[in-house]
Amino acid sequence: MSYSIQSIVAFRGVYPAELPAGLALVQLNDDVQMIPLGSIAREQYGIPFLPLTDDGDIEFPPSIQELCRQLSAGGDLAYIEAEIFGGAGVQASVLVGAGGRVGSVIVAHDAINAALCSLGVPRHNGGDEFASLALGRCRETDAWIDHAQE
């Protein structure tokens, strides 16, 4: 079974009141919101598909940096991505501070949890931050966009 996600996450109030065109907002648990970077957003903003996990880049793509800069005026956020197939996979994350201060690229088996922990996402019922936000609910990024429109 495969799983992939490419998104930007932050607590409510971080993103601007009006999102840039082509972006959808998904409400997660614990007052966290996610902007999935699905196929339409990637095409519109020139964002590569899973550049840190699929392509193995160690540089944060300028197109994603710019979008995160626009979205981070109200506080800290995290860019997250993961690709898992048949139980094996990799995760990546980048923290972006208020106003666009870009942190280091982290590629590791727990990169998403590390970023969510840094943002202050709580753990529930003995699970990790990923489980607390129910990020496994959809198997791929475009499905999150469909979920947001329901």
Q: Is residue 128 part of a domain?
A: yes
Q: Is the dihedral of CA 70, 130, 22, 10 positive or negative?
A: negative
- Percent of the chain with pLDDT strictly greater than 90: 80
- Residue 124 has what pLDDT? 85
Q: What pLDDT, on a 0 to 100 scale, did the predictor assign at position 60?
A: 94
Q: Is the pLDDT of residue 68 over 70?
A: yes
Answer yes or no: is pLDDT of 148 > 90: no
pLDDT at site 126: 79
Q: How many CB atoms lie within 10 A of CB 3?
A: 14
Residue 149 lies in a domain: no
> Do β-strands 2-11 and 26-27 pair in parallel, antiparallel, or remain unpaired?
unpaired
User: For 111-121, what is each residue's pLDDT tens digit?
Assistant: 999 999 999 99
Q: Is residue 150 part of a domain?
A: no
Q: Percent of the chain, pLDDT > 70?
A: 95
Specify whether the backbone of 44 is left (phi greater than 0), alpha (psi in -120 to 50) or beta: alpha
Range of the domain at 110: 2-143
pTM, to two decimals: 0.94
Q: Would you tell me how many other CB atoms lie within 10 Å of the CB of residue 87?
A: 6
Would you say residue 147 has pLDDT above 80?
A: no
Domain count of the fold of the chain: 1
Most distant CA atoms of the chain, gap in Å: 39
pLDDT of residue 1: 66
Read off the pLDDT of residues 7-52 as tens digits, 9 standing for 90 and up: 999 999 999 999 999 999 999 999 999 999 999 999 999 999 999 9
